[in-house]
Chains A and B, each alone.
Chain A
Amino acid sequence: MTNFNGSLIATVRCPICLDTFHWPTGDSLYEYRDGEFAELVISPAADAIKRADIMQTAYLRCPNPSEDANEHYLPAAYASYGNPLVIGLVGSTKSGKSHLLAAIIAEIQRDGLRPYGLTCRPVDFALHEAFLRERADPLVVRGEMLGATEEAITTYADALLVTSAAGTWPVAFFDVAGGDLAKTGKTARFVAGAGALIFVVDPDSALRTDADGERGLGDPTFDAVLGRLGGGKRHLELPAAMVVNKADRFRFVPPADVWLRRRGNGRVDAEAMLAESRDAYAFLYKNNANAWLRPFHECRRCTLHFVSATGGDPVDDAFPRGVRSQRVLEPVIALLAMTGILPGRESTKVGSW
């Protein structure tokens, strides 16, 4: 593929405006300083080692050939490895997507993927530090509830370089406000360029636990995203993972109680993922949440997981005993397996049982 010297040409799809363009662009480099992007000048005397070091935190301005987006920048590292993977979190406003993503990034920051042979480092150092400071640390370190996701955000929340035995890929996570996801405008444009999706089921909306409970109509964000990608196809080839979020509410009830207590052991286990997927599906089905199962029916490869970003309910907008995330990396591992980033024979079986 390419490397930092930019001597090779690649075609890149910008995850923000969805335009494709040649990489490197031949344009100037930029650095992020004091809240702004400023042109970066690399001295001609800088040798390859120095240049590579500078490029780790440099940015390129997306040329946005369609000229339909505000000025935006991508890390120079974004297209310098394997094809970037865009993972989008899909779910309604109160589904807990933001808490889930904060918990995921925190677990990755704690080296949670290393037992699987994966190492991670930021693609965009400034953005990653901001995410840790503003989202991950308040939740998992200080036990604070996060505020609602800002609307009209069009860029990714965080991006990491994930290295496995098969290579290195940038992985960008999008967490767009539920209200924006339900629309078809620019704010959810990333969907069209997504390489994988995590559908977040909000049990407060989905589950009707009494026998006479009427079934809900499903999550409108699921419908909007699947509709945007569908294009008349019977099944989508995009890998997907569904999560029954806030599963701590069911931590005393089978089958969630069993799965929440399972710890990852550093091995991809396709049979275990099949068993959990079947249990989570049947759990939603039994509780009259059939309409929320649409992603499983329409995405050819789709896993289901019980996850808890916090381990319990908040008390007065805080978690008095701190946060204890449970199984938040399972959907990410499933997606990395299905996209080939996490290689191995077992990975090829995930979602394709």
Chain B
Amino acid sequence: MSEDIKAPAGYAELRFRDPAGQSQTWTVRQQGDLAILGEGILSQQVSWNGTHAVKRWIPAEQAARRRGMCDRLENEARAGMRAAERFRDRYPVELTRLVGYDLDAAEPFLLVSPPRGTPVAELDWMSLDERHAFQASLFRALLLLAEAGIVHGNVTATTVRWDGKAVQLGDFGYAAAVGDDRQPRPDYVEGAPEQRRGSGRVTAVDDVWAAGAVLLRVATGQTGPPDLSGRGAALRSLLDGVFAASADDRPSAATLLRRLGVDAAVPPADLAARRAFADGERSFDRALKDKAPRPSPPTVRPPDKPARRFHIGATGLIGLLVFAASIVLIVLIATGKLG
């Protein structure tokens, strides 16, 4: 799958796979300026039949030489696929949507939904009500990610956008699944200590610290190491435990939503797929049990034999006589009848 150089100027033919696994071919119109994202990934808005998207790609020469760049796109595709599988036709507005990808091409690329709103880093001010809505929307985004089994891994004032009504989390280049080994990110200023170190395994609350740091910035303008001392009671209460030293002690996104008095409901999951997988796990366990070496069956007991009469053989008789003679000798010696 690759760009077709025969498309008219300003257009490009893209062949890719969509999240449902179907092959697609779009002749897209390239719009807007080319942007260079972090690590040299290129980005441009495209449109096709009224659908707008953002194409992110790595030039072929760079893709061949720098594996790390390709990993960013791979992570984004993985997060998008997991979210698409979890939410299907109830896709949440809080998350950018994966439109398609071809990451095996010489020039790997993916398509995502266009950005909405403004990066938080560029916002001047939020009213109290708006701030409450922002907090709820950001925690809801984390909750939805947890439902899909992924974490964003790079929640910052740049990757979090706000349009006045809902957050949009984008740029999933550092996304990971719960259970993955953490990768060291010493430059991730908003990240939790274990994320910067790259220690342990990813948990569902990995993004909570960074989200708290973004909220703190929105509420107080504070950047740098988070510090709740001297902050208002409401903010301290909301973010209680978010910056705990141990990830085990940090509240989940659902807990944070409840603190805001907001419903933590999520779209229902496709249970049929989960049931089918669980059936497979049970079949595996049954097969293991079936293969376990069985204990040897007990041997058949011989029929009971009739009780044996007491029988003393020749050897036994001699032994008895020797014993009796010994007793007699002892008695005679004891009584002095033998010298």
Seen from chain A, the residues whose Cβ lies within 8 Å of a Cβ on chain B are 209, 211, 235, 251-254, 257-258, 261-263, 277-278, 281-286, 296-297, 300, 312-315, 320-322, 324, 353
Contact = CB atoms under 8 A, between A and B. Distances in A.
B279 A320 contact: no
Contact of B149 (A254, A285, A313, A353): A254
B238 interface: no
Interface of B: 1-2, 21, 60, 63-64, 67, 70, 74, 77-78, 80-82, 85, 103-106, 108, 149, 177, 179-181, 272-273, 276-281, 283-285, 287-288, 290-291, 293
Given A253-B85, A281-B283, A321-B70, A286 B64 contact: no
Nearest to B105: A315
A297 B288 CA distance: 8
B227 to A, nearest CB: 35
Given A286-B273, A315-B105, A262 B181 contact: yes
A312 B276 contact: no
Contacts of B64: 320-322
Contacts of B290: 297
A324 B276 contact: no
Contacts of B288: 353
Nearest to A302: B291
Q: Could you tell me the dominant secondary structure of chain A's interface residues?
A: loop
Contacts of A258: 177, 179-180
Contacts of B283: 281-282, 285
Contacts of B85: 253
B77 A283 contact: no
B86 to A, nearest CB: 10
Contacts of A322: 64
B181 A253 contact: no
B82 A209 contact: no
Contact of A315 (B104, B273, B277): B104
Contacts of A297: 287, 290-291
Task: List 5 A-B pairs, minimum CB-CB distance, nearest first.
Answer: A282-B280, A285-B280, A320-B106, A252-B81, A312-B104
B1 A315 contact: yes
B291 A300 contact: yes
A209 B21 contact: yes
A257 B284 contact: no
Contacts of A263: 181
A252 B70 CA distance: 14
A284 B280 contact: yes
Given A258-B180, A281-B283, A284-B280, A320 B67 contact: no
Contact of B78 (A209, A252, A282, A321): A252
